[in-house]
A and B are shown apart, each in its own frame.
Chain A
């Protein structure tokens, strides 16, 4: 069970918004890079986020560049999962590969600051602030296997190959 507050954003948050290109020189210093997460969307993100919190967004989250640094710094900032109406293909794959769950669901009824409880096994989100229960789409099995190992690197270290 994951618990935390919702940090709510809108539609079409690109990986450029999550990890602005002007900080690309920090890509070999991920801890420092993470201090700029979401800077062009919400300059207060880093001061507001607490360990376990959720990024909650609208449609097409993570569109654009393939920079895996985007899900990595979201995770490094303490976020336990991304909840979005839809996610861009490369971002979704990258997030799973680095062990960050991306849960596709109707996020309209979640407000900024709501206390959320997420049960990955039953695919249920409980919004404790308004009593609403939301279900999310099941993660495809091949990706769930990778996520359950904590990402693609531990998965490969364990199995040595893809198991499909």
Chain B
């Protein structure tokens, strides 16, 4: 039988023929941790008595979750990470450089790579054809020391998407629809593998939005083929030599096949307090929002900011609504400045926050008050996620978020564009 994308990447990396269910020790191309998980990974690395990093040049520490830090304890965690990275010769992506997943997509991930990161949204690199499961600090500590990890080769779900999305509908709506359909554990331990004409027509940025949220269905990885779009993206990044084509075999075996008609999709939201608690935006429109958050590894890229800027150009946010915008990386921020999006957004009343995870993690930069409602382009809306268990988070696309900022209530973007 042929191979899925996951089987293909892992077989190639292991140098042996692998199929779903096999347990394998596999070398890793890139290992990383972020400021929330790195201090523990560093302590576990030291507890394992590793003398040095297996591959310092392909080890990265990101300071993105609390960037810059709001407390002295987190500042001391940053100090620990900076010192360790310097002493061991690892790369450091410091405050302001951006969210790990975005920086990895911009500069590191290659089709066919195996990447492990101490962050659940490591799956984002699947958009470029990298097998990239999120792990915990101790697994990453051992990968830092040994340059390898162990894995069970996942079985796969094939998601075929055909049709043209209507105006105002985007990759975020597609992935919210998918998670709502299969549930937050619908792909646990599995690889979600995407194909179809809609997927072929998507930019890498849009693919990242989908790969990023594969974990919200429990998946180990969310994989896209590496195609001409991938090649174009890598070439634009100045690393076209990293490209290699990657497609699943036509006779690969899947546990399940899901077909989605993109033309039938509507703007979607995930309602409080679960990502799979999805509904069409029409069901909740009119819900008052005090805060709108556009950013994160899910939807903080240039095209996301462009959607918001286009919708808000020459207009102002509702007077009772705060709009927080966080570019996913320094590059996104600079590109958005050059394109004029930052000025447009500021003129519309937005607060521009430094590149990083910002309010998504619940430590700072937009903690909600009791009873407040936020509509966010992030990937999680668990109770307390944005720092207050007595607040409410709706997840949506950038278009729906920007439309909601204009009216101060959850708004169908098709009414505004």
A67:B37 contact, CB within 8 angstroms: yes
- Residue in A17, A67, A88, A89 whose beta carbon sits within 8 Å of that of B383 in the complex: A17
Q: Which residues of A contact B363 (CB under 8 A)?
A: 21-22, 24-25
- Taking a contact as CB atoms closer than 8 A, the residue among A59, A153, A157 that contacts B185 in the complex is A59
Quick check: A157 and B218 within 8 Å, CB to CB? Answer: no
Residues of B within 8 A of A59 (CB): 185
User: Range of interface residues on chain A?
Assistant: 35 or more
Report if A162-B71 is in contact (Cβ < 8 Å); known contacts: A24-B36, A157-B48. no
B120, CB-defined interface residue at 8 Å: yes
Contact between B274 and A94 (Cβ–Cβ < 8 Å)?
Answer: no
Nearest A-chain residue to B65, judged by Cβ:
A24
Instruction: Given A68-B37, A152-B139, A153-B48, verify A21-B120 contact (CB < 8 Å).
Output: no
Interface residues in B211-268 by Cβ distance below 8 A to A read: 215, 218, 220
How far does the alpha carbon of A41 sit from the alpha carbon of B107 in the complex, in Å? Answer: 40
Residues on B with C-beta less than 8 A from A12 are 184, 274
B84 to A: closest C-beta gap in Å: 13
Does residue B40 face the partner (Cβ distance < 8 Å to A)?
yes
A68 touches B25 (CB 8 A): no
Interface positions, chain A 80-112, Cβ under 8 Å from B, are 86, 88-90, 93-94, 97-98
Cβ-neighbour of B387 out of A21, A26, A39 (below 8 A) = A21
B189 contacts which chain A residues (CB < 8 A)? 89
Using a CB-CB cutoff of 8 Å, which residues 42-95 of chain A contact chain B?
Answer: 59-60, 63-69, 86, 88-90, 93-94
Contact check, B188 vs A88: say whether CB atoms are below 8 A apart. yes
Task: Write the chain B residue with the least CB distance to A152.
Answer: B138
Q: Is B361 an interface residue (CB 8 A)?
A: yes
Task: Name A153's contact: one of B47, B133, B150 (CB within 8 Å).
Answer: B47
Across the interface, name the chain A residue whose C-beta is closest to B187: A89
The 8 A CB mask of A114-152 against B (1 = contact, 0 = none) is 000000000000000000000000001010000000011
Contact B362 A21 (CB under 8 A): yes
Residue of B nearest to A14 (CB): B382
In whole Å, how far is A90's beta carbon from the nearest beta carbon of chain B?
A: 6
A90-B134 contact given A153-B47, A157-B48, CB 8 Å threshold? yes
| B135 contacts the other chain (CB 8 A) | yes
Which of A17, A21, A67, A69: most chain B Cβ within 10 A?
Answer: A21
B23, chain A: closest CB distance, angstroms = 6
* A27→B40 contact, CB < 8 A: yes
Q: Judging by beta carbons under 8 Å apart, are B385 and A153 in contact?
A: no
Could you tell me the distance between the alpha carbons of A26 and B74 in the complex, rounded to whole angstroms? Answer: 8
Is A21 a contact partner of B188 (Cβ separation < 8 A)?
Answer: no
Judged by a CB distance under 8 angstroms, whether A2 is at the interface is no
Contact: A86 with B185, CB < 8 Å?
Answer: yes
B415 at the interface (CB under 8 A from A): no
Smallest beta-carbon distance B298→chain A, Å:
14
Contact A60 B23 (CB under 8 A): no
Within 8 A of A (CB), among B374-393: 380, 382-385, 387-389
Q: Is B95 on the interface with A (CB-CB < 8 A)?
A: no
CB-CB under 8 A for A28 and B39, given A89-B188, A162-B148: yes
B44 interface residue (CB < 8 Å to A): yes
A1 at the interface (CB under 8 A from B): no
Contacts of A16 in B (CB 8 A): 362, 380, 382-385
Which residue in B73, B188, B218, B382 is a CB contact (below 8 Å) of A26?
B73
With contact pairs A97-B138, A157-B49 given, residues A20 and B384 touching in the complex (Cβ less than 8 Å): yes
Q: Nearest chain-A residue to B183 (Cβ)?
A: A60
Separation of A98 and B40 alpha carbons in the complex (Å): 12
Chain A residue at minimum C-beta to C-beta distance from B34: A66
The answer on a CB contact under 8 Å between B77 and A28 is: yes
Please give, as numbers and ranges, the residues of chain B lying within 8 Å of A156 by CB-CB distance: 48, 142, 145
Q: Is the CB of A67 within 8 A of B36?
A: yes
CB contacts (< 8 Å) of A64 on chain B: these are: 120, 380, 382
Check A164 against B135 for contact (C-beta < 8 Å). no
Q: A164 is contacted by which of B80, B138, B146, B150 (Cβ under 8 Å)?
A: B150
- The complex places the Cα of A10 from the Cα of B239 at a distance, in Å, of 48
Which residues of B12-48 are within 8 A (CB) of A?
A: 23-25, 36-37, 39-40, 44, 47-48
Contact partners of A86 in chain B: CB under 8 A: 185, 188
**Please, how many angstroms separate the alpha-carbon atoms of A151 and B141 in the complex?**
13
Interface, chain B (partner A; CB < 8 A): 23-25, 36-37, 39-40, 44, 47-49, 65-66, 70-71, 73-74, 76-77, 80, 118-120, 122, 133-139, 141-142, 145-146, 148, 150, 152, 184-185, 188-189, 215, 218, 220, 274, 361-363, 367, 380, 382-385, 387-389
List 9 A-B pairs, minimum CB-CB distance, nearest first.
A21-B362, A94-B136, A68-B136, A60-B185, A25-B73, A16-B382, A66-B120, A97-B138, A25-B71
Additional pairs, 11, CB under 8 Å, beyond known A66-B119, A68-B118, A86-B185:
A16-B383, A17-B382, A22-B362, A40-B389, A63-B184, A66-B136, A67-B37, A93-B136, A97-B139, A162-B142, A162-B150
Q: Could you jot down 29 A-B contacts, CB within 8 Å?
A: A20-B362, A21-B361, A21-B384, A22-B384, A22-B388, A25-B71, A25-B363, A40-B383, A40-B384, A60-B218, A63-B185, A63-B218, A64-B380, A65-B120, A66-B118, A67-B36, A67-B37, A68-B137, A89-B188, A89-B220, A90-B135, A93-B135, A97-B136, A97-B139, A98-B138, A151-B138, A152-B142, A153-B47, A153-B138
